[in-house]
Copies of this chain bind each other. A is one copy, B any other.
């Protein structure tokens, strides 16, 4: 397997990071996961735009332009074999003797490589359970940074309790999942937390918002409470990797009748259909 390291492809076994890479010591960097369907990247422009935005927010300047990076990622795809999954792209500020501040001229470090994953078909059909947890993260969740410790702590709590996702609650309101956006449906209106500093505005979330409009489904970007979540008719999550997955149990209580709801199923079908229309192979 090849890994893109800055602007060259390197064998996976030969890629190594320095202990004083600021990504390792401070989480000083940003990332993206771009979905790949049968060798073809999906929504690559949107992901790269968000990647460059995240980098800009923490004042890291890439040495490659977006067009150049796209070309390099295409070389990575061409080096294949590359089937279903995603491409992980990470940028750190660079390598320097450890201290909090950094000097001008530090050279950012970029890596990109394939991460296999499969559509969670069983979960999409049958739905999953979730837990809730306080959202203790920082107040710049709009930056897709490497500071993911709290996300992984709650994902792990979900995982070890047999749940698929952890839903985060800040000041009584649902923000998002540990690696997904959360939607609830009440009286046929779809709700999701507004894009703000409190959530990462998912690419799939944005694709879904467009689909809601196309299909005439009422969508309100409006925060809702944990109590409203637990009283919802339907709940689902969205993410690049999982696409759309119904949540049918939260904190061991059924959502609605405890099966995937009709509107959620329609949203999933509309999303899969939209992938076909964007001519993603094998979908």
Instruction: Mark A residues whose CB is within 8 Å of B.
Output: 3, 15-19, 21-28, 31, 58-59, 88, 90, 92, 97-98, 100-102, 111, 113, 115, 134, 136-140, 145-153, 155-156, 158-159, 178-179
Q: Which listed residue (B17, B92, B148, B153) contacts A21, Cβ 8 A?
A: B17
- Residue of B with least CB distance to A140: B136
A102 pairs with B156, CB closer than 8 A: yes
Q: Which listed residue (B16, B25, B136, B158) contacts A31, Cβ 8 A?
A: B25
17 sampled A-B residue pairs with Cβ under 8 A: A16-B16, A16-B18, A19-B113, A24-B24, A25-B31, A25-B146, A26-B149, A27-B148, A58-B153, A59-B156, A100-B151, A100-B155, A101-B152, A101-B159, A102-B156, A146-B149, A147-B147
B26 pairs with A24, CB closer than 8 A: no
A117 shortest CB reach to chain B, Å: 8
A263 shortest CB reach to chain B, Å: 28
> Which of A18, A22, A98, A155: most chain B CB closer than 10 A?
A98
- What is the CA–CA distance of A26 and B137 in the complex, to the nearest angstrom? 13
- Residue of B with least CB distance to A145: B149
Identical chains bound together, number: 2
A102 pairs with B140, CB closer than 8 A: no
> Which of A28, A102, A138, A149: most chain B CB closer than 10 A?
A149
A25 pairs with B90, CB closer than 8 A: yes
With contacts A21-B17, A136-B139, A145-B149 taken as known, whether A156 is within 8 angstroms of B101 at the C-beta atoms is: yes
A111 shortest CB reach to chain B, Å: 5
> Which of A15, A28, A140, A178: most chain B CB closer than 10 A?
A28
With contacts A21-B24, A31-B25, A98-B115 taken as known, whether A150 is within 8 angstroms of B140 at the C-beta atoms is: yes
* CB-defined contacts of A97 to chain B, threshold 8 Å: 115
A175 shortest CB reach to chain B, Å: 13
* CB-defined contacts of A101 to chain B, threshold 8 Å: 152, 155-156, 158-159
* CB-defined contacts of A98 to chain B, threshold 8 Å: 88, 115
B19 pairs with A15, CB closer than 8 A: yes
* CB-defined contacts of A151 to chain B, threshold 8 Å: 26, 100
B140 pairs with A138, CB closer than 8 A: no
> Which of A88, A153, A158: most chain B CB closer than 10 A?
A153
- What is the CA–CA distance of A43 and B120 in the complex, to the nearest angstrom? 51
A180 shortest CB reach to chain B, Å: 10
A74 shortest CB reach to chain B, Å: 21
* CB-defined contacts of A134 to chain B, threshold 8 Å: 139
* CB-defined contacts of A90 to chain B, threshold 8 Å: 19, 24-25
